[in-house]
Structure 1
């Protein structure tokens, strides 16, 4: 079907949300690469991705005139894909989660109070899909993140789809972004460009799993997190760290404490003044973050990355 430009569509938001904070976070989110574009002048965010279940390419521009104000999206998509594409955008920006209770955590925990005060309105910004999160997990194995991001961009340019993304404001023109290849496209290739044989096989396995529904975000969030992690870890090349990444930053599960993320553990240890805690000890601390354990973890990561930026 021919892609068409939709009207502006309202995205329901429950709780604090600042698209500007999401855009700033996304600028430092290495895996996003060339599949996103932050328009600093117009205050909009533009995205390009294949949307399940059809996996046809979608272009999206999201706008918010002021923090905690209305959020809208405009799409370049086949008409039949618009509902699914809206769902993707809501999940990517964590707008599909009721955040009304998130500020309450700050009232009972000084650490979270400081995190939220330093990063107001920030919610996790996710991969476009669990499928792309799984592909990133494979591409980033045994290489630097910047190298993996360049590789992901090159694959998108060579065998992905160029997507027309609408403008965020009347005075701005639309742009084209390279969407990462959909699962069927990867399976059509004799070999994914620029990757070794072992990663090629693993990427094909991920593509097959996506088409079979094993990487469906709604499914992964509908079952107990422990079960989802076990299922994901059965995919070729996916270990504990990658399984957590796919569930938390791909499917967007809002309430899991990552057990295989040393940087998070170090940040929590420092913030709470702990002495040589075990992972179990840290999980006990995170119990008080429910039902937003993932969200708090992302605030720790974002604060750490901001602190690492040159003055």
Structure 2
């Protein structure tokens, strides 16, 4: 994992969408829902004969029919949360510029003011969307499973481990994800679309 560069979503809106979709569902299910959402709303592009889809904007989600969003697999509560976030993004009451002026705890609190965005979602948005490496989504069940997988013969005190890594504890999150992929033989493997189509590209 030497030289790991933490990946980030292209914008705050995209980070919000992924955090919301991935709430309390498996990675496979969330990935499939996101794929269907992008294909349903994103503008299609053809590059070198490969179909790609631009990630849908907040405006597109606000204008989407509820039945269409439901068909992608989004629950009623997630559809409502997405619309709350999209409204805030479009109105300018939530933006990267506003969050940039906040410390990470302040930014997490501000994100959590949107109903449907809890501590886990706020941490993921800050880490994956804004590159805040001083946050760690400690309530992530997959994190604990990955730690057990890496250290099955010893009990790991996650709280102490995260505290010892401050202020870059977010890197542990990425390394645990990579360790999981490596254990599954997924590192370097081509992505497989849930729809048999090419993945989305960010706008």
Match of 2:157 among 272, 277, 280: 277
Query: Radius of gyration: which is bigger?
Result: 1
Higher strand share: 1
Aligned CA RMSD, in angstroms, stands at 2.9
Asked whether the equivalents of residues 130 and 246 of structure 1 are also in contact (C-alpha less than 8 Å), the reply is yes
| Equivalences, count | 181
2:4 match:
122
2:89 match:
210
Aligned-partner Cα distance in 2 for 1:218–1:174 = 37
Indicate the SS of the match to 2:44. Answer: strand
2:178 match:
302
Asked whether the equivalents of residues 135 and 203 of structure 1 are also in contact (C-alpha less than 8 Å), the reply is yes
For each residue in 1:72-113, what CA deviation from the matched residue of structure 2 results, as whole angstroms up to 9, or x when unmatched?
Answer: xxxxxxxxxxxxxxxxxxxxxxxxxxxxxxxxxxxxxxxxxx
Aligned-partner Cα distance in 2 for 1:254–1:278 = 16
Q: Output the TM-score relative to the length of structure 2.
A: 0.73
**Structure 1 residues 275 and 147: alpha-carbon distance in aligned structure 2, compared to 1, 3 A threshold:** closer
Give the superposition deviation at 1:205.
Answer: 0.6
Aligned-partner Cα distance in 1 for 2:121–2:83 = 16
2:194 match:
none
Asked whether the equivalents of residues 131 and 210 of structure 1 are also in contact (C-alpha less than 8 Å), the reply is yes
Give the superposition deviation at 1:234.
Answer: 1.8
Give the superposition deviation at 1:125.
Answer: 1.4
Give the superposition deviation at 1:223.
Answer: 1.1
- Give structure 1 stretches of 5+ with no counterpart: 1-118, 166-172
For each residue in 1:234-283, what CA deviation from the matched residue of structure 2 results, as whole angstroms up to 9, or x when unmatched?
Answer: 21211111111111011221332333234435656866x9745262x233
Indicate the SS of the match to 2:165. Answer: helix
Give the superposition deviation at 1:143.
Answer: 3.1
Indicate the SS of the match to 1:163. Answer: strand
Higher helix share: 2
